[in-house]
Structure 1
Amino acid sequence: MSRINSNLLEIDVDKLFEDHGVDEIVEIQKLLDAEIERKRNELRSMVGDRYKDILAASDAIKSMKTISQEIVDNIEKITNTCETLVDTSDKVENITNYEINKEKIEERTLVIQIRLAIFMNEQIWISLDEENNFEAAQLYLLAQHIHTGLSLTKQERLNKIPLLQQIKENLLILRKKIFQRITEKLELVEITAEETSYNLNALLLLENQSTEELLSIFIQHRKTALNTVINTSHSSVRVQISAMVRCLITTVHLLHDCFIYSGLIWQQLKEIVSENAVPTLSKLNLPNTPLESYIPKIIKEFRPKYKTDIKETTLNETKHVIDQWLKSTEKTVINGVEKSLNLVTNVKGLYKIREEALKIDTPEFWDKICLASNLPANFNVWYFFFQNLLTYRAKVLISKHIVVSINNLQSDITETLERCVKSSYLELDLRWYAWSNDIQDVSKNENKHIGLSMKTKGFSTNIINLCEKLDLKYFELLQDVFQYFFGVEFNTNCNISVPNVKDFKFKKKFIDRDELINHLRMECLKNSEQITNFIDNLTKSTQDSNNKVAKSLVCARFLQAISQLCPNFNTCCNFNNITEDWSKICNIFNKTSFNLWSIWGE
Structure 2
Amino acid sequence: MTANLLNLNVDTLFEQHSVSEIDVVHKKIQTVVENKREELRTHVGERYRDLLKAADTIAAMQTSAATLIEQVHCVQANCRILNEQQLLGFKTTAPATDAALQQRNASKKLQSYYGTMVQIKLLTSLPELIWTHIDNEQFFAATELFIFSRHISTGLQLDGNSALMQKLPVARKQWEILRPFHLTIKHAVLAVLEREELCPEIAVDCMQSLLLLDKCDLSSVLQTFLNLRASAFLNCLQSHLTEPRRVKERILASLGILNSTIELLDKCLLENGLLFTRLAECSASTCPPSISRMESSERQLAHLLPEIIAGFKPQFDVPKLSPKHLGMSLQQWLDKMNALAATQLQQIFALVSNMQTIQDIKSSARSTGRPSFLHLEQQLHLEHSELDFYATKYVPLINARVREIIRSSWAHAMKQTYEKVLSLIEAGVSTPPHQIWKEQNDDLPLSLAAALSDQPKRLANRTKGYDSSTIDLCKQFDSQLADIVQELNVLLQEQTTRTEDKMSLIKFLRETAQEQVAEYLSKLKSLQLRERPALLQALRNSLALVELCPNLKLCFCQPPSWRQWNQSGAGIDHWQRICGLIEDEMLSLWLLIVEDVLTAHSCEKQLTKIISHEAVLRDFALWQTLTLEQRDEEQEQSVQSTIRIPSQPRLSLQTYLHQLIQALNLAVPQTLPSKVLHAFNQKLLGQLLGHYEGLAAAECTKTSQNIALQLYFDLKFLERVFAVSREERPLYDQIHSQQNNLRDCIDPFDFELFAEHISTHVARSTSRLQGELGVLTPYTPAPGQGTTASSALAHEADPNVLCLSTSGSTSLWFPLLPIVMPQAAGGLVGSECKQKPVETDKTAIATTATTTTTPTRKSGGSATTRKGDNSKSKSGAASFFGMSQEWFR
Is the TM value for this pair above 0.5?
Answer: yes
> 5 Å matches for 1:314-463?
315-333=323-341, 336-337=344-345, 340-361=348-369, 366-368=373-375, 376-378=383-385, 379-417=387-425, 422-423=430-431, 425=433, 432=437, 438-440=443-445, 444-445=451-452, 447-450=454-457, 458=464, 460-461=466-467
How many angstroms apart in 1 are the aligned matches of 2:417 and 2:368?
Answer: 43
Which of 266, 269, 287 is the equivalent residue of 1:259? 269
337-346 or 585-594, which moves further after superposition?
337-346
Aligned residue type for 1:135 = A
- Residue of structure 2 equivalent to 1:572: 555
Q: Is structure 2 residue 533 aligned with structure 1 residue 541? A: no
**Which structure's residues are more often helix, by fraction?**
1
- Residue of structure 1 equivalent to 2:147: 141
Aligned residue type for 2:147 = L
How many angstroms apart in 1 are the aligned matches of 2:180 and 2:375?
Answer: 43
Aligned residue type for 1:323 = Q
How many angstroms apart in 2 are the aligned matches of 1:211 and 1:397?
Answer: 46
Q: Is structure 2 residue 575 aligned with structure 1 residue 582? A: yes
Q: Aligned to 1:101, what secondary structure does the other structure show?
A: helix
Q: CA deviation at 1:211?
A: 1.8
- Residue of structure 1 equivalent to 2:192: 185
Q: CA deviation at 1:238?
A: 1.8
Contact 2:291–2:312 (CA under 8 A) maintained in structure 1? yes
How many angstroms apart in 2 are the aligned matches of 1:595 and 1:241?
Answer: 51
How many angstroms apart in 2 are the aligned matches of 1:212 and 1:399?
Answer: 47
Contact 1:322–1:374 (CA under 8 A) maintained in structure 2? no
- Residue of structure 2 equivalent to 1:237: 247
Q: Per the alignment, do residues 277 and 425 of structure 1 end up closer, same or farther by CA in structure 2, a change over 3 Å counting?
A: same
Q: Aligned to 1:155, what secondary structure does the other structure show?
A: coil
- Residue of structure 2 equivalent to 1:15: none
Alpha-carbon deviations, 1:347-390, whole Å to 9, x = none?
33333333334332456x55445655776533333334433333
Q: Is structure 2 residue 590 aligned with structure 1 residue 593? A: no
- Residue of structure 2 equivalent to 1:475: 482
Q: Per the alignment, do residues 416 and 564 of structure 1 end up closer, same or farther by CA in structure 2, a change over 3 Å counting?
A: same
> 5 Å matches for 1:113-152?
113-123=116-126, 125-130=128-133, 131=136, 132-152=138-158
Contact 2:189–2:206 (CA under 8 A) maintained in structure 1? yes
Aligned residue type for 2:497 = K
122-131 or 458-467, which moves further after superposition?
458-467
How many angstroms apart in 1 are the aligned matches of 2:334 and 2:292?
Answer: 44
How many angstroms apart in 1 are the aligned matches of 2:555 and 2:328?
Answer: 45
How many angstroms apart in 2 are the aligned matches of 1:175 and 1:87?
Answer: 47
Q: Aligned to 1:233, what secondary structure does the other structure show?
A: coil
Alpha-carbon deviations, 1:221-263, whole Å to 9, x = none?
3234334433242452222322333333322222221212651
Q: CA deviation at 1:478?
A: 0.8
Q: Per the alignment, do residues 408 and 279 of structure 1 end up closer, same or farther by CA in structure 2, a change over 3 Å counting?
A: closer
Contact 1:260–1:373 (CA under 8 A) maintained in structure 2? no
Contact 2:118–2:304 (CA under 8 A) maintained in structure 1? no
Q: CA deviation at 1:269?
A: 1.4
Alpha-carbon deviations, 1:183-219, whole Å to 9, x = none?
3332332232112111210111122222211111212
Q: Aligned to 1:318, what secondary structure does the other structure show?
A: helix
Q: Per the alignment, do residues 377 and 83 of structure 1 end up closer, same or farther by CA in structure 2, a change over 3 Å counting?
A: farther
How many angstroms apart in 1 are the aligned matches of 2:301 and 2:422?
Answer: 103
How many angstroms apart in 1 are the aligned matches of 2:100 and 2:578?
Answer: 111
Contact 1:118–1:167 (CA under 8 A) maintained in structure 2? no
Alpha-carbon deviations, 1:38-75, whole Å to 9, x = none?
xxxxxxxxxxxxxxxxxxxxxxxxxxxxxxxxx9xx99
- Residue of structure 1 equivalent to 2:497: 507
Q: Per the alignment, do residues 86 and 117 of structure 1 end up closer, same or farther by CA in structure 2, a change over 3 Å counting?
A: farther
Select the structure of larger CA radius of gyration.
2
Q: Per the alignment, do residues 110 and 564 of structure 1 end up closer, same or farther by CA in structure 2, a change over 3 Å counting?
A: same
Aligned residue type for 1:593 = M
Q: CA deviation at 1:392?
A: 3.2
Q: Per the alignment, do residues 435 and 167 of structure 1 end up closer, same or farther by CA in structure 2, a change over 3 Å counting?
A: closer
Q: Per the alignment, do residues 569 and 88 of structure 1 end up closer, same or farther by CA in structure 2, a change over 3 Å counting?
A: farther
In percent, how many aligned pairs have the same letter? 19
- Residue of structure 1 equivalent to 2:810: none
Q: CA deviation at 1:460?
A: 4.2
Which of 522, 525, 528 is the equivalent residue of 2:514? 525
Q: Aligned to 1:250, what secondary structure does the other structure show?
A: helix
Q: Per the alignment, do residues 534 and 168 of structure 1 end up closer, same or farther by CA in structure 2, a change over 3 Å counting?
A: closer
Q: Which runs of 5+ in 2 are unaligned?
A: 1-57, 78-96, 559-565, 596-889
Q: CA deviation at 1:514?
A: 4.5
Q: Which runs of 5+ in 1 are unaligned?
A: 1-70, 90-94, 488-500
For normalisation by structure 2, the TM-score amounts to 0.49
Q: Per the alignment, do residues 327 and 350 of structure 1 end up closer, same or farther by CA in structure 2, a change over 3 Å counting?
A: same
How many angstroms apart in 1 are the aligned matches of 2:516 and 2:166?
Answer: 90
Q: Per the alignment, do residues 599 and 119 of structure 1 end up closer, same or farther by CA in structure 2, a change over 3 Å counting?
A: same
Q: Per the alignment, do residues 303 and 557 of structure 1 end up closer, same or farther by CA in structure 2, a change over 3 Å counting?
A: same
Q: Aligned to 1:271, what secondary structure does the other structure show?
A: helix
Which of 258, 263, 283 is the equivalent residue of 1:273? 283
How many angstroms apart in 1 are the aligned matches of 2:312 and 2:323?
Answer: 32
Q: CA deviation at 1:480?
A: 2.5
Alpha-carbon deviations, 1:292-348, whole Å to 9, x = none?
5443333333221123x434x454213332233233334445655555544433333
Q: CA deviation at 1:170?
A: 2.5
